[in-house]
Each structure stands twice: as C-alpha cells, then as structure tokens.
Amino acid sequence: MNRIDVAVIGSGFAGSIMARVLASRGLTVAMIDPHLHPRFAVGESSTPIADSILRRLGTTYGLDDLVSLSTWGGWIWDHPDLTCGRKRGFSYFAHEKGMPFSEASLGEQSLLAAASPSDDVADTHWYRADVDLHLCQQATSEGVALAAGFSVVGIERDGNGWKLELQSSDETGERLSMRVDWVIDASGRAAVLAKAFAARDMADRMRTRTHSTFAHLHGVSRWADALDSLGIDGKDPFDCDDAAQHHLLGNGWLWMLRFGNGVTSVGYTAPLESSLDWTGHPSIDAMMKAAWLVHPGIGWHQTERLQRWYDPLCAERAIMLPTAALTMDPMHSTGIAHALAGIERAACVILDGHSADDYAANFHRETMLLDRMISTAYHVMDDFPRFAAACMVYFAGAIACEERLQAGETPAAMWSADDSAFVSAVEVACAAIENREIADFESRVREAIAPWNTAGLMDASVNNRYAYTATK
C-alpha cells in the first residue's frame, strides 16, 4: 500500500476541482465517493464572486475549462454539451396569499439587481448533474485516482499523515486501506471528517434557522410573461427569468433557476417554525400548473434544519472545504462562491504553506457575516421595503468584494468580511432594518453602507431596478 499525497472525500464540483488543482502541481491525489455520477444535486446558482475565483483557479493552475465555465458566453461557446442557465442577476417579487401578484407602481413589490451588463459575461446556473460529472471526468483524465462506490469507514493517525479505511457500498463489502499525507473533506452534508472526529455542530450559534423543500421540474411557465399580461415590465434592466428568481411568500420564499434544457430548479425555504406549504398564491400556482417533476423521482426532497457549522480544521492535515463544514441558506446564492474560495485557500495551505489557522478564521468570519445579513432578510420578509434594504446591505458587501477581485486583490475573506468597518456597518444597518419602530430605516441603511456603495444602491429614483451592481 503506497502512500499518496492527498485524499479528497467527495467527487462533486468542489472535490473534483480541489483534486485537479493539487494534481496540477504534481501531487498524487485520490478521490473517494460512495456515489456515482451523474446525480441530482441542488446548489446551482453562481455569482460574480464565484466566477472571478473560478477564472483565477483556471488561469493559475492551467485548467482552461474553468475559465470557459466562468461566464455564460464562454460556457455556451466551449462546452455546449453541458447544460446551464443564463443568470443576469437577482430578481425578487413579493406576493400576498390568495391574491394575484400586483404592484401600484414599478418596484413597489419587486426588485431587479443586475450582476452583469450583457449575456456574454453573465453568470450561470449550474446543472449539477452535467457539471459535476464533467469536472469529475476531467480530474480522472488528469491523473486523479477515483475510488467510486467506496465510503470512508475509518480514519486514524499514521505518522504525520492518516490511514483511511474504505468499504464498498455494494454487496461485496470490499475493504481497502489508503495512507495519505492530507485529507480534504468535500463530502457536503455528509461531513465525513466532522463525524469521524465527533466535531461539535455550532449551528446553535446561528440566527438563521430555516428548512427547505426542492425539486427539478419541467414545464414551469415564464414569470416575465405573467408580468407582461399584468402590464408590468419584467425585462428591464434584464429578463427577470434570467436570474436567481425569488418569490417572497410572507414567511418564506420560492426560488426558481431556469436551465437551457427546459428544466427549472424550484425550492421553497422558510423559517423552521413555518410549514413548507407554498401553495395558495394564484400567480405562482398558475406558473406551476403545467409543470411536472423531473428529479428526484420519488417526489420533492424535504430537509430538516438546513444550518450546520463545523470548524473546518478537524485535526492537523485534515481540512474541510466550506461545502462540508457549512450549510447556510440559499438566500443570496453564496454556496458556490464559498466553496471556490475554500478551494483556493486550502490549495495555498497544502502547496504554499499558508496558515491553516487563517483558513479557518476567515471561513468563520464569512459565516458570521452571512448569517447576520441572511437572518435579517428572513426577519423582515413580510415587509418588502425592509427586505429590499436588507438585500442592499448584502449587495454592498458583495460588490465591494467583486471590485477588489477585479482589481487583482485576494481578499482574506469574501463579501467584505475582512473589512471590520463594513462588518460594523452591517450591524448598524441590520439593527435599523429589523426594528419596526424605526421609520427612517432606509436613510440609516443608506448612510451605513455609503463608503462601499459604488453601484448607486438605495436610490429611490430607479424604482428598485439596478442596472449596474457588478464589475464585469
């Protein structure tokens, strides 16, 4: 049994990119995964932060397909065989139960925030069955060994590294042993390392407390068409269906992410104390009337509490990527960006000797900041002006981070979590938004985010239609 440099647990997009990055620098790498590709997965919406990091990973480590996959135009041109959706930005619409969607004036109950100026450089929705398969295949073609159909059933110290015990999930129950210098956990909610080391879940410290139900469906009608029939413009500054679309239904919200193959990712997320029943909204019901389930075949998947939060450093030379160490919430589409940031930093720990403690500290800073902003959005979801203000706080931090990335910087933490002044401003803004007795909350938010507001956020004259909120 020869020793290898790194074992990566999980062969989804995060594990496969992590393995390729390390293999590109000459390390021997193996991926371990109990499941095979292709497979259903959610967590599909990319963002400008995610795409900037994906491009940088591609150029730094010579992984050309990552550069192509960082924009909708590059993806369609170079990888037309991989399904994706075009994402020009974020769109939000507030509904009242039992009533068709309406607004007395443009932007009263809706918000569109662009993330790119054109289709060519737009973000994407990743059809994960295609993308994860592609990235896994690329990893194996580039020399990464794949133990598919095997689970990690034991891990113990072996000198400076680790000995892993693997077992096949088929009827043979085949056992394998593997000696490695490093272990990277990219196993998602399985959180293999956290369970192996009995790590404490810190989710009880989080303000955000939500659960979700989701599926892939075919035949979901276009929301822009429904708006047109109501005399509402849903295509300025971009088509509202080319977006991470949010339908706010009082306590919870329904996401819709449209792929080029006619499939739409649909999910409903709500506070734990609320049911996952999103029916009874006529405009939504009409959009879903002709839709049928594609995945998962057994019906809509329902979760318990989404949030989990582990320390990503389980032990020396054992690192969890953000996809394994954290589940936050689909609000603001932060998952892919967080995963890619973790890959970039973990690679620097292994390849360049960067501090693993810094890796963990910045992960925790991001988690706490995102939790503060997302929990505020849920707290005021029934009050659209306050909810829109909560989104502006998030966009201010995200855009400031995007601009730093575009300038060639490497922020220590994403979403401006490494900027203590911004973190303090978020606390001021979120407190004002959540306090329903504060009537002038918008002016307080505008003042709090002013030093980072390069995109004209909180401008009442644009009627919640933001054409520029990105640096692409």
HEC profile for 138-172? HHHHCCCEEEECEEEEEEEEECCEEEEEEEECCCC
Tokens of 259: 């792929």
Residues in the chain, pLDDT under 70: 1, 469-472
Candidates 35, 92, 100, 117; CA nearest to 471 is 117
Domain 3-75+127-202+309-356 sits in CATH 3.10.580.10: no
pTM for the model: 0.97
- For residue 14, give the amino acid letter: A
CA 360 to chain centre: 19
Residues 265 and 292: their CA atoms lie apart, in Å, by: 12
Residue 445: what pLDDT?
98
Name residue, tokens 């989104």.
391
Phi-psi region of 126 (alpha: psi -120 to 50; beta: other; left: phi over 0): beta
Tokens of 1: 């049994």
Residue 162: what are its φ and ψ, rounded to 5°?
-140, 150
Helix (H) or strand (E) holding 223: helix 223-229
pLDDT tens string 348-393: 999 999 999 999 999 999 999 999 999 999 999 999 999 999 999 9
Residue 468: what pLDDT?
73
Residue 469: what pLDDT?
60
Where in the chain are the domains?
3-75+127-202+309-356, 86-124+209-302, 383-466
Tokens of 316: 């020396």
Residues, the chain: 472
3-class SS of residue 442: helix
Distances (CA, A) of 336 to 14, 141, 344: 8, 23, 12
What are the respective helix, strand and coil percentages of the chain, to the nearest 5? 40, 25, 40
Cβ-contact 123, 469 below 8 angstroms: no
Look over the chain and give the mean of its residue pLDDT values, rounded to a whole number: 96
CATH number corresponding to 86-124+209-302:
3.30.9.100
pLDDT tens string 221-242: 999 999 999 888 899 999 999 9
3-class SS of residue 261: coil
